[in-house]
Amino acid sequence: MRLEMGHIYIKDIQFADESKIQDGVLYVSKEELEKKALEDEKIKGVSFDIARPGESVRITPVKDVIEPRVKVEGRGGVFPGVISKVDTVGSGKTYALKGMAVVTAGRIVGFQEGIIDMTGPGAQYTPFSQTLNLVMVCEPVDDIKQHDYEKAVRFAGFRVAAYIGELARSLTPDETKVYETCTIKEGLEKYPELPRVAYVQMLQSQGLLHDTYVYGVDAKKIVPTILSPTEIMDGAIVSGNCVSACDKNPTYVHQNNPVVHDLFEEHGKTLNFVCQIITNENVYLADKQRSSDWTAKLCKMLDLDGVIVSQEGFGNPDTDLIMNCKKIEAEGVKTVIITDEYAGRDGRSQSLADADAAADAVVTGGNANQVVILPKLDKVIGTLDYVTKIAGASEETLREDGSLEVELQVITGATNETGFNKLSAR
């Protein structure tokens, strides 16, 4: 499959009467955005704000981060099965608005939403301090259940992102990159000497607000399958989860999955990037066994030499990670796993909830229990009402001078397990 990605660099976002992109500036009409967000009757109100890198702004509670994209050629549209009709995506031409993101915020569970600081010590841990963020804070109708609220906000974010992406349809990209994988037979003929490598992505699917969607399908209900790695670039996988902010994959991370991009960098040079295998992290033992069996089976059937396995979340999914690693290694396929650690605030505890000698090649996104002090910032987009309740905070979080004492856990994307960041631990 071949996909041409056109990058359009956004240098600023401004509110205006008319929505358009001109000379790298995104102008958006609040009225139009509101209309998009309020299409769902479960959302009572929405407010929009802009946060720029370096500004003294804290965004919380952050739900999802999305990169606006538009499909300009080829089958389907962005977010298939969610916003666009179901059709196989990943070929043709897609434009992405680089340097910006749509950030959805609002109290959903009140426990596992995150913090994005645009400046100060917190900013170095979240990749989204580097993007121009169009933030939407959604207010639900009264007496709504958390999962209904979550779904309403999730869809509102995609509608707004798709609306903004659409503004780029007739533009000329600043930069174009081509991503292409071969069919099985072509790959064998073209790169007979290169190791056959795939990316095994574990999708958060513990349920009860820990969900991920593939072409609109709840990942709890899938069996492991294969994708062309270009499909994710059109939004084939989207986030719908409220796992600890530090190591859940916001939709932005799925769209820009760094393992996919870094394997493409080596494709045809040092390795043959065969495909992406997706699997889930269900909580029932039978599901864990089936999914890890199937993942290992697919690796074997595809005659792979090596895989990179990425995890999402922690604790319960540590068992899925180790089961995948053990079974894939047992098939003679070499693995590297990417995870993060919960080694305690003092770093002295065992980092994962499971372990095995087969996991001899591990990349870590760092210890999520590490404590950081986030100074008081001038402006809060959203609310600090839940800041002592979110995962990684405590009753002592809010200090007298207005600063926050929190674990890295609270920071969106801080210890990402697709290897999105440079943070690590030893």
Partner 1 sequence: MSKIKVVHYINQFFANIGGEEKADYPAEIRVGEAVGPGLAFNMNFKDEAEIIATIVCGDSYFNENLEKAKADILAMVKEQAPDVFIAGPAFNAGRYGVACGTIAAAVQEELGIPAVTGMYVENPGADMFKDKVYMISTKNSAAGMRAAVGKMAPLALKLAKGEAIGASCEEGYMPNGVRVNFFEKERGSKRAVNMLLKKLADKPFETEYPMPSFDKVAPNPAVKDLAHAKIALVTSGGIVPKGNPDHIESSSASHYGEYDIAGVMDLTAETYETAHGGYDPVYANEDADRVLPVDVLRDMEKEGKIGELHHLFYTTTGNGTAVASAKAFADEFSQKLKADGVDAVILTST
For partner 1, the binding residue among 91, 94, 119, 370 (CB under 8 A) is 370
Distance set, CA 196 to CA 65, 187, 262, 336 (Å): 33, 9, 15, 14
* Annotated active-site residue in 242, 275, 299, 325: 242
Instruction: Considering the complex, state which of residue 36 and residue 267 has its C-beta at the smaller distance from partner 1.
Output: 267
Instruction: Considering the complex, state which of residue 81 and residue 365 has its C-beta at the smaller distance from partner 1.
Output: 365
357 counts as binding partner 1 under rule CB under 8 A = yes
Q: Mask 315-344, x = binds partner 1 (CB under 8 A)?
A: x------------------xxx-xx-xxxx
Nearest alpha carbon to residue 340 among 417, 234, 426? 417
Output the smallest distance, CB 361 to partner 1, in A: 5
The rounded distance, in Å, linking the Cα atoms of 327 and 333 is 9
379 counts as binding partner 1 under rule CB under 8 A = no
The rounded distance, in Å, linking the Cα atoms of 27 and 41 is 26
**Maximum pairwise Cα distance, the chain:** 66
Q: Residue 285: in which H helix or E strand, if any? A: helix 285-301
For partner 1, the binding residue among 167, 182, 368, 374 (CB under 8 A) is 368
Site for partner 1 in 152-181 (CB under 8 A): none
For partner 1, the binding residue among 261, 290, 300, 326 (CB under 8 A) is 261
Work out whether strand 175-180 and strand 210-214 pair parallel, antiparallel, or are unpaired.
unpaired
Nearest alpha carbon to residue 260 among 231, 223, 303, 217? 231
Q: Mask 93-132, x = binds partner 1 (CB under 8 A)?
A: ----------------x-xx-----------x--------
State how far Cα 48 lies from the chain centre: 22
42 counts as binding partner 1 under rule CB under 8 A = no
The rounded distance, in Å, linking the Cα atoms of 40 and 374 is 35
Instruction: Considering the complex, state which of residue 171 and residue 362 has its C-beta at the smaller distance from partner 1.
Output: 362
Q: Which amino acid is at 365?
A: G
Active site residue 242: yes
Query: In 108-246, which residue ranges form alpha helices assigned H by DSSP?
Result: 146-166, 184-190
Radius of gyration (Cα) for the chain, nearest Å?
21
Q: Mask 262-291, x = binds partner 1 (CB under 8 A)?
A: xx-xx---xx--------------------
* Cβ-count burial 153-192 (b if 16+ within 10 Å, e if not): bbbbbbbbbbbbbbbbeebebeeeeebbbbeeeebeeebe
Instruction: Considering the complex, state which of residue 76 and residue 366 has its C-beta at the smaller distance from partner 1.
Output: 366
Instruction: Considering the complex, state which of residue 187 and residue 392 has its C-beta at the smaller distance from partner 1.
Output: 392
For partner 1, the binding residue among 177, 354, 398, 403 (CB under 8 A) is 354
Q: Binders of partner 1: how many residues, by CB under 8 A?
A: 86
Instruction: Considering the complex, state which of residue 358 and residue 380 has its C-beta at the smaller distance from partner 1.
Output: 358
Site for partner 1 in 210-239 (CB under 8 A): 210
197 counts as binding partner 1 under rule CB under 8 A = yes
What tokens were used for 46? 């929405």
Q: In what order do the strands lie in the sheet with 362-367?
A: 225-227, 272-280, 196-203, 306-310, 334-341, 362-367
Stretch touching partner 1 by CB under 8 A, among 17-25, 96-104, 347-355, 375-383: 347-355
Extended strands (E) in 172-223: 175-180, 196-203, 210-214, 217-218
Site for partner 1 in 294-313 (CB under 8 A): 305-308
Output the smallest distance, CB 134 to partner 1, in A: 25
The rounded distance, in Å, linking the Cα atoms of 4 and 180 is 9
For partner 1, the binding residue among 51, 243, 374, 387 (CB under 8 A) is 243
Stretch touching partner 1 by CB under 8 A, among 10-18, 64-72, 115-123, 410-418: 410-418
Instruction: Considering the complex, state which of residue 182 and residue 209 has its C-beta at the smaller distance from partner 1.
Output: 209
Stretch touching partner 1 by CB under 8 A, among 74-82, 96-104, 153-161, 351-359: 351-359
Active site residue ranges: 242
